[in-house]
Chains A and B, each alone.
Chain A
Amino acid sequence: MSAASHDDVSRRDFLYVFSGAAAGVGVAVTAWPFIDQMNPSAAVQALAATEVDLTPIQDGQQITVMWQGKPTWVRKRTQAEIDEVRAMPDSELKDPEADQDRVKKPEWLVVIGICTHLGCIPNRDNSKQPGGYLCACHGSVYDASGRILHGPAPANLPVPPYQFVSDTLIRIG
């Protein structure tokens, strides 16, 4: 190498920075497909909305349907159950939310039946809360509106997006 002039040094610096930056961008661009391949695939995302016929469901009965791989409850509440959850004071609720804001029609409760704690499926259980739910995993108790009363779960059972197609048919999703 001959005596390095100022120009040589700055050209070399440019090459270092340029090749370093190009390599960095190249690694990032190449890495992305390897990361993104783990996200839900088109086939998984294409899961159709689930339609539920409400006619066979009796007063007080609850059915479970699958929506996006998640158990989703459709429950026809009795008048007594509705009255009870609507009379519940906010002080009893860990995540206060009015029952009116969680249902489209008072008798129909549609919630995703996955405990907001760590993803177990709570059971209908009257022992801790009449008409409510108990998660056997870690003891979270929900009321007949799917609202968390006590236990480790931080939030109410989520309400999925749904609409009444007719009086006897809902579409979830």
Chain B
Amino acid sequence: MASGHSNYTPSNGLTRWLDERLPIIRFANDNLLSFPTPKNLNYWYTFGAILFYCLVIQIVTGIVLAMHFVPNSALAFSSVEYIMRDVNYGWMLRYMHMNGASFFFIAVYVHMSRGLYYGSYKAPREILWILGVIIYLLMMATGFLGYTLPWSQMSLWGANVITNLLGAVLGQDFTQWLWGGFSVDNPTLQRFFSLHYLLPFVILGVSVLHVWALHHVGNNNPTGIDPKGPQDTVPLMPYYTAKYYFVITLFTIAFAVFVFFAPNLLGHADHYVEGNPLKTPTHIAPEWFLGAFYAMLRAIDFNLILDSKILGVLVMLGAIGILFIVPWLDTSRVRSANYRPVYWWCFWIFCADFAMLSWVGLQPAGTVLVQMGVAADGSPTGLNVTHLAQIGTLYYFAFFLVIMPLLGLFETPRTLPESIAQSVLKRGGAGTPAGAAAAPETRI
């Protein structure tokens, strides 16, 4: 859309001189100012901008935290406490970084759900979607690595569980290579710190590719039909930049509420106990944003051809990996769920399912929710979180592997509007109403 349609004209000798040598102003103009954007984008389409804002918050707070943090197993925990107590505004910077990660994931889940709802992964946006999945994977890796750095009980044992997960599939030699020893110890912490510092910049790089792909094919929109001409689009500046400023302000207010009034609401008390390799906390919980995948791992408590341990890991990795092939699993040619009555329900059930799995993943293993009896040893039995996790995992995979391919063949979509402009006008938006006078200024 944007490529090859530059409307930039250098205004003076200096910018003309620069434009012939490095057309950077032209680039910014074409991509940030005059970029033609469908005129019907709603607020769900502002989360890409919010995500960039989150990345900036994480990189800036992270860089300054690294000026005080010590990546050494003997000192890491106390250096975090030092940041909290002694460093000027250290508490605020760390709470911003901690909650920033959570808000980053809230935003990315909204952003991805938006893509699933409006079919934004369908041709020609497959690469755009895949780059997004890669960013999501990198975010999860970065979030996990960051969680280990304070070297608390949660850090240490979270690192243990996750590295052993990879070891279950890749073997003991791999785990020792990853640890740099025979257990999670100082070498592990130092390399995790190095990688935690590196990955955000990799995320930034892939995000540039993501936006490049977006600006090459253009935005999808709530109708899912392509813009047919200038009447269907508006320039990014000021129409959507104004919208971005507004939602980023709201987002910042919500963020500030957490940072200043509930900084540990999303955390865990054991994150403030120094790591002890001799004592596992009674209950290891991942960060909430990894809860769904952790629930799927724990859902597999039975052998099925493969051993339950390897199967659990494969199911968990498969749950992420399956996102890569979503563009080819969905057989419907209609993009937007607004015009797909059955998919609409399946999508919202999927969102509820993912939320339930995220919650289940944070509960202690085997917690009984609805008691139906008593076991021989006196402990209650009945519907427990593992059953919920199994049901949730089943739907998660069924959504992608059964519903998406089959709905395209059996569902009757609603009639699509003729154009974006028409769909906007139908909703009583701007434009000339049918009954309005042709020339009101002459009518006295």
Contacts and interface: CB of A to CB of B under 8 A. Distances in A.
- Is B a genuine binding partner of A? yes
B164 interface: yes
Contacts of B298: 138, 152
Contact of B164 (A35, A119, A123, A139): A119
Given A41-B187, A127-B379, A138-B365, A118 B182 contact: no
B164 A44 contact: no
Given A120-B284, A153-B309, A69 B183 contact: yes
A154 B308 contact: yes
Contact of A136 (B164, B178, B283, B309): B283
A120 B183 contact: no
A38 B160 contact: no
A44 B187 CA distance: 9
B23 interface: no
A96 B191 CA distance: 38
A137 interface: yes
* Contact residues of B: prevailing secondary structure: loop
A71 interface: yes
A128 interface: yes
A69 B185 contact: yes
A18 B289 CA distance: 50
B280 A154 contact: no
Interface size class of A (residues with CB under 8 A): 20 to 34
Contacts of B164: 117-119
A97 to B, nearest CB: 16
Contact of A69 (B182, B282, B301, B365): B182
Contacts of B301: 138, 151-152
Interface in A20-40: 35, 38-40
Given A152-B309, A154-B309, A41 B182 contact: no
A128 B375 CA distance: 10
A71 B187 contact: no
A131 to B, nearest CB: 14
B366 interface: yes
B365 A137 contact: yes
Contacts of B161: 118-120, 137
A70 interface: yes
Given A70-B183, A120-B157, A154-B308, 8 more contacts: A38-B178, A40-B182, A66-B278, A69-B182, A119-B161, A119-B164, A123-B280, A136-B281
Interface of B: 157, 160-161, 163-165, 168, 176-183, 185, 187, 191, 277-284, 298, 300-301, 307-309, 312, 364-366, 377, 379
Interface of A: 35, 38-41, 44, 47, 64, 66, 68-71, 117-123, 127-128, 135-139, 151-154
Q: Which 5 A-B pairs have the closest CB atoms?
A: A69-B183, A119-B164, A68-B182, A121-B280, A120-B280
27 contacts: A35-B177, A38-B178, A38-B191, A39-B177, A40-B182, A41-B180, A44-B180, A44-B182, A44-B185, A44-B187, A68-B181, A68-B183, A69-B277, A70-B183, A118-B165, A120-B160, A120-B280, A121-B278, A121-B279, A123-B280, A136-B365, A137-B280, A139-B366, A151-B301, A152-B298, A152-B300, A152-B309
